[in-house]
Amino acid sequence: MFIEPSRKKEILHPRTGWIEVICGSMFSGKTEELIRRLNRAKIARQAVEIFKPALDKRYHQEDIVSHNENSIRSTPVQTANEILLLAGNCEVVGLDEVQFFDTSILDVCNSLADKGKRVIVAGLDMDFQGKPFGCMPQLMSIAEYVTKVHAICVICGDVASHSYRISPSQERVLLGETDIYEARCRRCFNLGEKVDRNF
C-alpha cells in the first residue's frame, strides 16, 4: 500500500522503476485504488500520464471513472505500443482495464519500468468464467508489487473474488455494469443461477 519513496535524490543516483498491479473482481475497488495512488503522485508533483484501452467507453470517452463516480482524466489508446510513444518524460504511468490489452502490454510495462518509471496497472484477474484474464497472470509475474482487492458478494455478503455474468452471452469481452455482472463469493459463483436470492 505504501510504495511512495521520495524521488528527490534522483539527480545524484538515478532511481529504478517498477510495476504495481492492482487486481480483483468487478466492483472490488481497483479503479478507486488506482485513482488514489495517481492522485497522491500528483500531490507529490510527479509527472503522471494515464491511459485506458479505447474500447472501454462505459462511463466516459476519456476519463477513468470508478463505480462510485471518482474520476481522473486519461488518454484512450487503441494499442499498447501507443503508450510508449505517449508516456514521454513522465515519472508515473497509470493504466486501467489492463486485461483488455494483448500480451504486447508486457513489453510495454517492462520497457517503461526499465526507463525508471513507476508503472501502476489495474485489471480484472478473472473473467466471467473464473478463468485468468488475458495478460493478467503474466503481468502479476513481472510486477514488483501485486495488490488483490475484494468486493462484497451481492448474494450472501461474504468477500467476493468473482464476477458473475447474469446475461447468457458467452463472448469474453462484454462491457457492462450491475446490469450484466454481480460480485460474488466463490460459493455463490459456483452455485450460478441456483443461488437463493432471499438469503
Ligand X SMILES: Cc1cn([C@H]2C[C@H](O)[C@@H](COP(=O)(O)O)O2)c(=O)[nH]c1=O
SS3 150: coil
- Tell me which H or E stretch contains 188: helix 186-191
How far apart are the C-alpha atoms of 158 and 185, rounded to whole Å? 6
Shortest CB 164 distance to ligand ADP, Å: 11
Q: Is 188 annotated as a binding residue?
A: yes
- For the bound state, the minimum distance from the C-beta of residue 139 to ligand X, rounded and expressed in Å, comes to 15
The residues in 80-99 that bind ligand ADP, with binding defined as CB under 6 A, are none
Residues of this chain, 134-153, that bind Zn ion according to CB under 5 A:
153
Q: Does residue number 152 form part of the binding site for ligand ADP (CB under 6 A)? A: yes
Which of positions 7-66 make contact with ligand ADP (CB under 6 A)? 24, 26-32, 66
Query: Is position 99 annotated in a ligand binding site?
Result: yes
Q: Is 97 annotated as a binding residue?
A: yes
What residues have CB less than 8 Å from 68, skipping those under 6 apart?
Answer: 32
- Report, in Å, the least distance between residue 175 CB and ligand X: 4
Q: Residue 182, exposed/middle/buried by CB under 10 A (0-12, 13-18, 19+)?
A: buried
Secondary structure of residue 37 in the 3-state scheme: helix
Q: x/- binding map, residues 170-189, to ligand ADP, per CB under 6 A?
A: -------------x------
Q: Provide the minimum distance between the beta carbon of 151 and ligand ADP in the complex, in angstroms, as a whole number.
A: 3
171 included as an active-site residue: no
List binders of ligand X among 91-130 (CB under 6 A): 124, 127-128
175 is known to lie in a ligand binding site: yes
74-110 burial: b if 16+ Cβ within 10 Å, else e: bebbeebeebbeebeebbbbbbbbbbbbeeebbebbe
Binding positions for Zn(2+) are: 153, 156, 185, 188
